[in-house]
Amino acid sequence: MLAKNLSWLGLTFLWTLLDQSTKYLVWKTEGFSLTPFLDIIKVYNRGFVFGFFGGNSGVLKDIFYYAIPTAVLISVVYVLIKSEDRFTKFSLSLIAGGGLGNLIDRVFWGKVRDFIDFHIGSWHYPTFNIADIFISVGIFLITLRLLTEEMGKLKRFKN
């Protein structure tokens, strides 16, 4: 049991390492354009998701900036360890790895380093990073799994 979970935790740390490596590399360069709609820029997110509570300080910010992400990360890792399903473990490893990457930024930098700037003309999606992609893909995969399971239950119920 422990050996199986160590490999999943290792994958989690691999996602974190990939996130931290990309942030390190971007911060060693100047910003640049990849395509007409995708730029690499350096942005510090001093808030929570999409910069919420960025202007706040004190207990409220500490709760949203450190306590909640830490509690969520611990919960995700706990469920990852307890799960028997490989798909769920993979999805949760993405979420945990991305969450840990952003939490490392919060603890050591006091802010999250974002750098992927997707835009169409003058409209810009909020800047994000590789950790955010891991978290989003993990959540998408779990949601997809839950929806397909529910659809299967509905089919069986109709028959």
Instruction: Convert the pLDDT of each residue in 69-102 to its tens digit.
Output: 999 999 999 999 999 999 999 999 999 999 999 9
Helix (H) or strand (E) holding 63: none
Alpha helices by DSSP H, listed for the chain, are: 2-27, 59-62, 68-82, 86-109, 130-158
The pTM assigned to this predicted structure is 0.89
The share of the chain scoring above pLDDT 90, in percent, equals: 74
Q: Is 132 a catalytic residue?
A: yes
> What's the average model confidence in pLDDT over 136-147?
96
For 144, the domain range is 2-158
- Asked whether the predicted pLDDT for residue 56 surpasses 70, the reply is no
Closest by CA position to 69, among listed 112, 20, 103, 104 = 103
| Catalytically annotated residue among 19, 105, 117, 132 | 132
Selected catalytic residue, list 19, 105, 114, 117: 114
Distance CA 137, CA 53 (A): 24
- The total of structural domains in the chain comes to 1
For the range 80-89, what are the long-range contacts, defined as Cβ-Cβ under 8 Å and sequence gap of 24 or more? Answer: 80/5, 80/8, 80/9, 80/12, 81/5, 81/8, 81/9, 87/141, 87/145, 88/142, 88/145, 89/8
Residue 105 bears catalytic tag: no
